[in-house]
Amino acid sequence: MVAINLFHRPGFHEKLSRITSSTEATALLAAMISFAVRFQSSEDGEIQSEKDTHRRAASFLDLASKYNDDTLRDCGDNTPSLCLLQSFILVSHSQLTQGVLGRAWRTLGTCVRLAYETNLHLVDARGAEYALNSKRWYEDEEKRRAWWAIWEMDVFATTIRRTPTAVDWSQLETLLPVDDEHWFERKPTQSCFLQQDPILRWKALANSGSQSPKAWFIVINSLMKEAQRISSPRGIPNGNGPSSDRMDEARQRLEVIANAVHCFQLALPSHLKYQQQHLGFEARVHGKALPLRQTHCSIYNIYMMTQLARLMIYRYDVFKGRFRVALPTRDSDVNRETSDIHAKGKTERLAVNEYFEAADDMLTIIHRSSDDHIRYINPFLSNTIWLASAVHLMRSQLCRSGAVKSAVKSRYEVLHLTYKRCVRFWGMNTAVQQNLETLEEQLEIWQQSKKRCSNQEQNITSSPACREERSAQSASLDYRPVLSVPNTNEINTPINPTQSLSNSFYATDWQTDIPGDIRNTSALDISSVPSADAQFITDQMIPSATLIDPMFLFGSTQSQGPWIENSRAMDEELDIDWRYLQLPNELPDAPF
């Protein structure tokens, strides 16, 4: 696999010959085939239909999962083998690619527990020098790769679900993986540990002389996760926002992450840097030990993860933990009488610019990549492409009609189409894609309605027709929006909102405020909690400068509950019928 190289290729046949359990061998091979069938051509050389490919992949994946469970049950209290763990990793990787749903989430949890049971977090507890001189170096490298594969899946899944990681980062005594070429040649190569201090991570890796694409990817991935934990510590948006002291502390921590990302980019080996070159993802080139495709994948994966880290860093100053914000669009929107407030407004506008620039940079590398590159990149990054498309969709709503708005919208179209191609190729869950398309339709309806009212108000200072139109629209919308769960016998169990007693947004603890009998049901329509602002705000916000955080357009876990902060003020600004945003039966977190 390009995204996660688990096996020592030259010694793989020998590895299979040492497996004594037929169920264990079947599980491993079925898991590998479930991935490989997506790249298999039929006997006449033509690519098989997507429907048939997904069916075959699912069949082998189910077979692997069944034999994994059987083998694990046969282990009893004995420690499972590395081979079994690798099979679980492949199954978990495939399930997570399709969506961070309940089964995938639980399989990943099993991987983490098995890794700790086999002490993969302590492979190099005796130190880096001992590991380098060990006669078992190349065998230990296989264990390191299994550990870091689980670490990577854990970071991905918990970023989607906005939860703490299952892996404890304070006890990582396993060296980062070396490059494939040296491993395949069984040539011991120096590496380093993942440092606790973010600013030391890139430095330790650079000082080790490591040229490993996976090691460098792990470092930037860790910085992204650190930024996500700081920018969204609670997992759900807090309407009141953090206190000023906490915000200052968070900004300082994010500044460290931002500086670490910048240093990472400077220290990154030249052969792993994206320098506006075309990435063709070609197969093996004569005279090269590794396929050029793998090199291009490494460049692409690292660059996209770097931009995702930037999005997470600047997301904090843009949204401050809220579902949507009103952005100052001109200097007059900032109180110039207070220099501190003006400086704060300037900082926020710079953060917005960096936020949008990161999404633009993702589009740039997609433009410079081959049309079929989505087949070869780390499939987890398809969710990053989705996020970039959602950012551009929201950004298009901030632009006045004209060339700029059309350009921004066209960027969204390219990114969204690329994401849909990922969905088709990998057989991903489509709930988030449908949510984004529904949101796009609702935003277009709102824009048209706003434009009609604006045209009328140009001729009539106080237009009764416009007021009647808006009144009719308001009457037609139930301001208790619902996240609809399809295929559940059309059972609707709305949660009645409670009125907030303050003028701030209502912060809900989904663990305590939702009745247990409703929280745990699989057929659930969840209404939002309105703000007291709804009592007096109508059009005080600048509609063209209202930005919604795309991170909260994902489905939510049952433990967190879907969160739509939908005060009447927001409905007045964006007449969006949230009832048409759907989640699968399990109320899962779909891909990000």
- Positive or negative, the CA dihedral 403, 359, 2, 293 is positive
Q: Are 173 and 121 in contact (CB under 8 A)?
A: yes
Domain final residue, candidates 433, 453, 473 = 453
Residue 157 shares a structural domain with residue 294: no
Q: Are 483 and 581 in contact (CB under 8 A)?
A: yes
Tokens standing for residue 73:
């049950």
Give the pLDDT of residue 148: 97
For residue 252, being part of any structural domain is answered with yes
d(CA 54, CA 538): 49
Domain final residue, candidates 131, 163, 195 = 163
Give the pLDDT of residue 534: 27
Residue 266 shares a structural domain with residue 369: yes
d(CA 72, CA 87): 11
Give, for 527, the enclosing helix (H) or strand (E). strand 526-527
CB-based contacts of 62, cutoff 8 Å, min separation 6: none
Q: Are 446 and 575 in contact (CB under 8 A)?
A: yes
For residue 493, being part of any structural domain is answered with no
d(CA 122, CA 173): 5
* β-strands 526-527, 482-483 pairing: antiparallel
Residue 373 shares a structural domain with residue 393: no
In 437-509, the DSSP E strands lie at 482-483
For residue 16, being part of any structural domain is answered with yes
Enumerate the β-bridge partners of residue 482.
527
Total structural domains within the chain: 3
Mind giving me the DSSP string for 255-286? HHHHHHHHHHHHHS-GGG---S--B----PPT
Q: End-to-end distance of the chain based on CA atoms, in angstroms? A: 21
CB-based contacts of 112, cutoff 8 Å, min separation 6: 150, 154, 166, 167
d(CA 391, CA 314): 13
d(CA 352, CA 302): 23
Angle 98-99-105 from CA coordinates, rounded to 5°: 120
Residue 153 shares a structural domain with residue 12: yes
Residue 268 shares a structural domain with residue 365: yes
d(CA 194, CA 208): 12
Give the pLDDT of residue 472: 54
d(CA 561, CA 17): 48
Tokens standing for residue 197:
């201090």
Give the pLDDT of residue 344: 60
For residue 93, being part of any structural domain is answered with yes
Our measurement of the distance from residue 387's CA atom to the centroid of its chain's CA atoms, rounded to an integer in Å, reads: 7
Residue 89 shares a structural domain with residue 113: yes
Residue 251 shares a structural domain with residue 156: no
Closest by CA to 237, choosing from 567, 498, 515, is 567
Give the pLDDT of residue 270: 96
Q: What is the pLDDT along the chain (592 residues), one digit of tens a residue?
A: 446 689 999 999 999 999 999 999 999 999 999 999 998 865 555 556 888 999 999 999 999 999 999 999 999 999 999 999 999 999 999 999 999 999 999 999 999 999 999 999 999 999 988 888 888 998 999 999 999 999 999 999 999 988 999 999 999 999 999 999 999 999 999 999 999 999 999 999 999 999 999 999 999 999 999 999 998 766 555 555 556 777 788 889 999 999 999 999 999 999 999 999 999 998 766 656 567 899 999 999 999 999 999 999 999 888 877 777 766 554 444 444 455 545 566 677 788 899 999 999 999 999 999 999 999 999 999 999 999 999 999 888 778 778 888 999 999 999 999 999 999 999 998 887 887 888 788 777 777 776 777 666 666 655 565 555 555 554 444 433 333 333 333 333 333 333 333 332 223 333 333 333 333 333 222 223 333 332 222 233 334 456 778 887 664 433 333 333 333 333 344 444 434 443 333 333 333 3
Q: Which SS3 state, helix, strand or coil, does residue 65 take?
A: helix
For residue 187, being part of any structural domain is answered with no
For 77, the domain range is 1-39+49-120+140-163
Amino acid 13 reads H
Residue 2 shares a structural domain with residue 89: yes
Residue 112 shares a structural domain with residue 152: yes
242 CB neighbour count, 10 Å cutoff: 16
- Residues listed for the chain: 592
Give the pLDDT of residue 465: 58
Residue 285 shares a structural domain with residue 355: yes
Ramachandran sector of residue 486 (left: φ over 0; alpha: ψ -120 to 50; beta: rest): beta
Closest by CA to 353, choosing from 391, 385, 381, is 391
Residue 398 shares a structural domain with residue 351: no
Closest by CA to 6, choosing from 78, 91, 96, is 91
Residue 405 shares a structural domain with residue 258: no
DSSP state of 200: H
Q: Say what the pTM is.
A: 0.79
For residue 483, being part of any structural domain is answered with no
For residue 272, being part of any structural domain is answered with yes
d(CA 116, CA 151): 12
Q: Are 146 and 139 in contact (CB under 8 A)?
A: no
For residue 291, being part of any structural domain is answered with yes
d(CA 2, CA 264): 23
Q: For tokens 């992949």, name the residue.
A: 57
Q: For tokens 């690519």, name the residue.
A: 47
